[in-house]
Chains A and B, each alone.
Chain A
Amino acid sequence: AQSVSQHNHHVILSEAASLELGCNYSYGGTVNLFWYVQYPGQHLQLLLKYFSGDPLVKGIKGFEAEFIKSKFSFNLRKPSVQWSDTAEYFCAVMGNYQLIWGAGTKLIIKP
């Protein structure tokens, strides 16, 4: 069965630190990849997505993610986090007509 792994369930960083959240998936075929974010008290919303083309994709609020096909990874990065980035982040993978979600990573930014 396909799976999506987000290795860090909780991450705590100070403001201005760099961020990288891991996402690995198991399906070997063509995939669409997503990162969603859920700020406290708000709806889940799309942060960025990859369907094809440049494997380095840029999203909202300074986030980016890199698709590395050989590593089955789609890690999320931000060079300098802010307190307002405190949220839960979800990776999702669409492959072989199946949509699989990771367990989420709760990110807390200390002011």
Chain B
Amino acid sequence: ETGVTQTPRHLVMGMTNKKSLKCEQHLGHNAMYWYKQSAKKPLELMFVYNFKEQTENNSVPSRFSPECPNSSHLFLHLHTLQPEDSALYLCASSQDFGDEQYFGPGTRLTVT
């Protein structure tokens, strides 16, 4: 398998649930990103990891918790989410931070 993969593709969760989104890149890249894409809003950069170290956290609520165990895998742990967190969550990777990014298909999250 090549490129950037994300699982699950769709997720419905209640506000009291805990779930995790997974991203895997098979490109040998050093930087990985989590984005939130909502209708009628700009793409929001949530977290950036460069060489497994978090370099940016753009004021994201603590109910979103990233984890980068190695340079190929990135997780987004979710707990006590709100309905307004419903969105498409995109993962991307690049050779280094700021380079051309390769995106996964996203996880469509619905919080009920």
Contact A103 B42 (CB under 8 A): yes
A residues engaging B (CB < 8 A)? 32, 34, 36, 43-46, 49, 90, 94, 97-99, 101-104
B103 to chain A, nearest CB (A): 4
> Considering only CB atoms, which chain B residue lies closest to A101 in the complex?
B43
Point out the residues of chain A lying under 8 angstroms from B42, CB to CB.
101-104
Contact string against A for B residues 84-112, beta-carbon threshold 8 Å, 1 for contact and 0 otherwise: 00000010100001111111111000000
Contact A94 B98 (CB under 8 A): yes
Q: How far is the CA of A32 from the CA of B97 in the complex (A)?
A: 11
Point out the residues of chain A lying under 8 angstroms from B106, CB to CB.
43
Q: A104-B42, A104-B43 are in contact. Are A32 and B105 (CB under 8 A)?
A: no
Given contacts A34-B100, A49-B100, A101-B43, could you give 18 more A-B pairs where the C-beta distance is less than 8 Å? Answer: A32-B98, A34-B101, A36-B101, A43-B104, A44-B90, A44-B101, A45-B103, A46-B100, A46-B101, A97-B55, A98-B56, A99-B45, A99-B56, A99-B97, A101-B42, A101-B45, A103-B42, A104-B43
A79 to chain B, nearest CB (A): 24
B residues engaging A (CB < 8 A)? 41-43, 45, 48, 55-56, 90, 92, 97-106
Q: How far is the CA of A102 from the CA of B55 in the complex (A)?
A: 21
Most B C-beta atoms less than 10 A away, residue of A34, A43, A104: A43
Q: How far is the CA of A98 from the CA of B97 in the complex (A)?
A: 9
Point out the residues of chain B lying under 8 angstroms from A32, CB to CB.
98-99
Q: How far is the CA of A45 from the CA of B45 in the complex (A)?
A: 16
Point out the residues of chain B lying under 8 angstroms from A46, CB to CB.
100-102
Q: A43-B105, A44-B90 are in contact. Are A103 and B41 (CB under 8 A)?
A: yes
